Structure 1
Amino acid sequence: AMSEAQIEELLTKDPAALGPMSVGATNAGALFNGIRMPEGDRWELVDPGHAWGTRETVDALDRAIAEVHRQFPGSPKLYIGHISARDGGRLSPHKSHQAGRDVDISYFLDARHRWYQRATAANLDRERTWAFVRALITETDVELILIDSSVQRLLKEHALKIGEDKDWLDEVFQFGSRKPRPLIRHARGHANHIHIRFYSPIAQESAVRAYPLLVKRGAIKPTANYVRHTAKKGQTLGSLARQYGTTVEAIKRANGLRSTAIQAKRVYNIP
């Protein structure tokens, strides 16, 4: 492992040699030395300017998509949406996507497929989409996958039909399972795309070691640390600000809020 002096020397002379670093949390982080997802004949970048990630993220996506094409040669392209901005940080309209480890990507749908099209029983290509999700689970270091429960049902039914182990499927799918932390979880707004979050052990560990020097040399801004608060009935941004010693505007920025209205039972980031 490099010493602090060696890291500082590289920051001065050859920052790229330090490799990509995923700094901080995915909802309060930064990206240093990010890698842009390349153009490819198996995917289409919806917004190339916001398709920056760690090397591990880029390689994992490539590997999972390649597995689909191995099983189903000639498969159509997937659409890859936002990963992160070049330097990470806040990327509207997301709360996450700040540290090069989150990816929005399409489902495999029928021939009339377009980006952000809702997946349904009528248009979902179950074989290819399950092959992709399965490859994410078995071939990459994935942290979580967000898929609407309606689409989870279709994929789980297909997986059972082709002989996948039911106990294993109950471990990975939230739909039809009572496991406390399944890998595939429901989140509203994810019937039209899949959200993937990867672990990036090398990029994350490198960032932890280099963080003080990155901040010291102005390579990144200090990242925020958030408390996760589940709002209760009757609470307001003002009461939360007083409780945690922060400001209403800071809470609004941390959650991408345009107004001061909050909802009971919703989880908010408190800086």
Structure 2
Amino acid sequence: MTGPRVRPMLDVRRIYAEDAALELPRGQEVLGRWPDAEIVPVASHWNIPEVHGDERNVQRWVRIKTEALVLGVKKSLVTRPNGRSADFIAPSTANGCAMACAYCYVPRRKGYSNPVTVFANIEQITKHVARNIAKQGPKTEPNQCDPDAWVYDIGENSDCSVDAMISDNVRDLCDLFRMTPTAKASFATKYVNRDLLDWDPMGRTRIRFSLMPHETAKVTDIRTSPIAERIAAVNDFVGAGYEVHLNFSPVILTPTWESDWAELLRQVDDVL
């Protein structure tokens, strides 16, 4: 007897692509990963009516995330001050997510579906980030982000662990920080991508695994790695050279939320 069929995280069948993205090496590399996918030309990655503007897509939310991909060029390259978990927010190398968390804020700007958009102009993005890092110079005063290094969040609008399955954009940024003694990359994730264990980040990339009680995650963290798998991965990523933090969020008030969180903290303590 076989178990229920599990939909793959990505089974890309349509790639909506700007001409400018197709002209870049990264765009061609992404196409090469799904050679049988239909290429749909679009004028703008932000304006795809059949993906973003059709309310009927609500019923196909997960299917679109699984089967559709968008290739674009990020036109506005801005590094913004942050000051919370990171000193700065770097320009995104992707937008959207193949996962489907019920409380996600990213889809609000995209309308009725939210496939991953990959930005093909990665060389422009990495050069912009490198210039910004050089402009800061060494960090001379510790703060809540890090005592010694400037921290750049590289995954504000996507989950970098999943993005790394689609293109080498995340690895290119992590390689940049690997060779940068004054700064660190940082991103939050709900997906355990063990391919990242081979990257040798030399402590210059901070992964923040998001955790919440298992019973709550089952109905809100859709298509993500199970909480137990995230916890079990922590020591492996530390051993592979990552700095690992834990995000205990969001806190959703259920009738049993206090006991559920207490149990989660016990599980974390047992493993770590």
Q: Same fold (TM over 0.5)?
A: no
TM-score, normalised to structure 2's length?
0.25
Structure having the higher Rg: 1
Greater relative CO, 1 or 2 (CA 8 Å, sep 6+): 1
TM-score, normalised to structure 1's length?
0.25
